[in-house]
Amino acid sequence: MGAPQIHPRPLLERQPPPQMPIQTREARMPPMQADKLRAELLALPPNERAELAHVLLESLHDEEPDPDAEAAWLAELDRRAQAVADGTAELVDWEDARARITSRLKAAREGRTSR
């Protein structure tokens, strides 16, 4: 399984990723088992969760990188910079952006804890 395809969108249009069942290279884990595993992992002491997070993040480097990702991100950065230079970008005040980000993070955390 290769790296996910990157389809850059403006930051403010992005939505949080949907809760997906845990997937292995061979098969998907049924949602009930995934929820149970998630709960068990979140019950680990902080140092063990940190170690597990590190191992999981390192495992992502084992995947083949998307050969088009860097070019896609550079094109997106160029597009955004040009929109700012042209005056066509919809700019957002930092305080408004931070409030929106904080609200989305809070909602995401509440959604995870209500399971």
pLDDT digits (tens, 9 = 90+) for 49-99: 999 999 988 888 767 778 899 999 999 999 999 999 999 999 999 999 999
Per-residue tokens: 31:
């949602």
Please give the backbone phi and psi of residue 66, each rounded to the nearest 5 degrees, phi first.
-70, 115
Residue 36 has pLDDT above 60, yes or no: yes
Amino acid symbol at 8: P
Residues belonging to the chain = 115
- The Cα–Cα gap between 104 and 102 comes to 6
pLDDT for residue 110? 87
